Amino acid sequence: MAVDPVYLVQLTLNGITLGLLYALIAVGLALIFGVMQIINFAHGELLMVGAFAMSFALPAMGSLYWPAMAAAVVATMICGLVIYETLLVRLRPDEFERSILITLGLSIIVLHVVQYLFTANPRMVDTQYGFDGVLIGTIRITWTRIIGAAVAIGAFALLFVLLKHTQFGRAMRAIAQNREAALMVGIRPRVVARNAVVLATGLCGLAGAALAPIQLVTPGMGQFLIFKAFALVIIGGLGNIPGAIVSAIGLGLIESWIGGFFEIVWQEAAVFILMVVVMFLKPDGLFTRGGMRVG
C-alpha cells in the first residue's frame, strides 16, 4: 500500500499537537499525584471549564486569542484554588480511595451543572485567527493548532524552570520524593499542595482553552480525555512528569497514525491497549518511578 508522505506528515503534525495537549492534562495529574498522592477525577471537568471559559471570554474580548486565553486560565486556576481549599485540603495522604470518590463526586456535579446550565449542545468557538492557517507545501495547519502546540511547549518550559530553579518548585519535588524528610525541613505540605493543585489546574485550563478553537466544546469533552490521561500517567509512571510528557506525545502520534489508516475503534482503544501492555512488561511504568523527576 503506497503511503502518501504528505498525508503522513500531516498526521504526524496533528499527532504532535494532540500529544502536547494530552501532555498538559497528564502532567497536571502527575503533579497532583506526586505531591498529594491522590488522583484527581475531576481533572477532565477542569479542562472543560477552561474550554467553556474560553468560549465565553472570546466574544467578550472581541475574539482576541491571547487575552481570552489568559482569562480562561485564570478562571480555571481560581476554580482549582476553591476546590483545593474546600475539598482537597481535608484529605490525608493515605486516603486514596476517599480522594477518588470525592473528586468523582465533584466531577459528576461540575459536568451536570454545566450541562444543565448550558445544555449539551456543542459550541463552536471563534478566534481572531478564524480558520486561517499556514501552508507548507500541500500541508495545511491552522494557526489555532500551531499556537496550541506552541503554548503547550511554552508551558512545559516554564514548568521545567519552575520545578528545577525556584523554591516553589523545589518544595514540590521534595514533598513528592520524600514527604517525611520534606516536612522535617519545614516545608509546609498545605501550601505546597495548594500550589500544585493551582498549577495543575492552570495547565489543564490552558489545554482546554487551546482546545476550544480546535474542536467542539461540549460539557462531556473532558470525560474521555481524562481516561486517556489516567492511562498515560500509568504508562509514564505515577508522579513522573517527563514520563507523562513523553508518553502523551507518543500517544498523540500513535493515535493519529492509527486513526489515519485504521478504524476509529482502534484509535480509541490504542491508549488502553498500550497501558495493558506496559503493565504486563513494566508494572511501575515505562520510566523509573518515584517522585517527580525533572529531566
**Minimum distance from CB of 287 to another protein (Å)?**
14
Q: Taking the CA of residue 101 as centre, how many other CA atoms within 13 Å lie in the half-sphere pointing to its CB?
A: 4
**SS3 (DSSP) at 121:** coil
Residue 237 backbone phi and psi in degrees, to 5: 100, 120
Name the residue nearer to another protein (CB basis): 148 or 239.
239
With the C-alpha atoms ordered 283, 289, 291, 292, is the resulting torsion angle positive or negative?
A: negative
**Nearest-10 Cα torsion for 15, 220, 153, 193:** -140
Quick one: cell of 291?
Answer: 517522585
| Pairwise CA distance, residues 156 & 165, whole Å | 14
CA distances from residue 228 to 88, 106, 192, 253, 272 in whole angstroms, order as listed = 23, 19, 27, 14, 7
User: Does 180 contact another protein by CB under 8 A?
Assistant: no
Please identify which residue in 5, 62, 137, 283 interacts with another protein, judged by CB under 8 A: 283
User: Does 66 contact another protein by CB under 8 A?
Assistant: no
**Minimum distance from CB of 89 to another protein (Å)?**
11
User: Does 276 contact another protein by CB under 8 A?
Assistant: yes
User: Does 233 contact another protein by CB under 8 A?
Assistant: yes
Which window, 14-22, 73-81, 149-157, 227-235, contacts another protein (CB under 8 A)? 227-235
Which window, 125-133, 137-145, 210-218, 267-275, contacts another protein (CB under 8 A)? 267-275
The footprint of another protein on residues 10-39 (CB under 8 A) is 33, 37, 39
**Minimum distance from CB of 132 to another protein (Å)?**
35
H-type helices in the chain, by residue range? 5-36, 43-60, 65-86, 96-118, 143-165, 167-177, 179-184, 189-211, 221-236, 241-261, 264-281
Which window, 94-102, 136-144, 148-156, 193-201, contacts another protein (CB under 8 A)? 94-102
User: Does 264 contact another protein by CB under 8 A?
Assistant: yes
Please identify which residue in 96, 129, 143, 160 interacts with another protein, judged by CB under 8 A: 96
Name the residue nearer to another protein (CB basis): 109 or 136.
109
Which residues are CB-neighbours of 232 under 8 A, at least 6 positions away?
A: 22, 26, 244, 247, 248, 251, 271
Residues in the site for another protein, rule: CB under 8 A? 33, 37, 39, 87, 90, 96-98, 100-102, 104-109, 111-113, 115-116, 227, 230-231, 233-234, 238, 263-265, 268-269, 272, 275-276, 279-280, 283-284
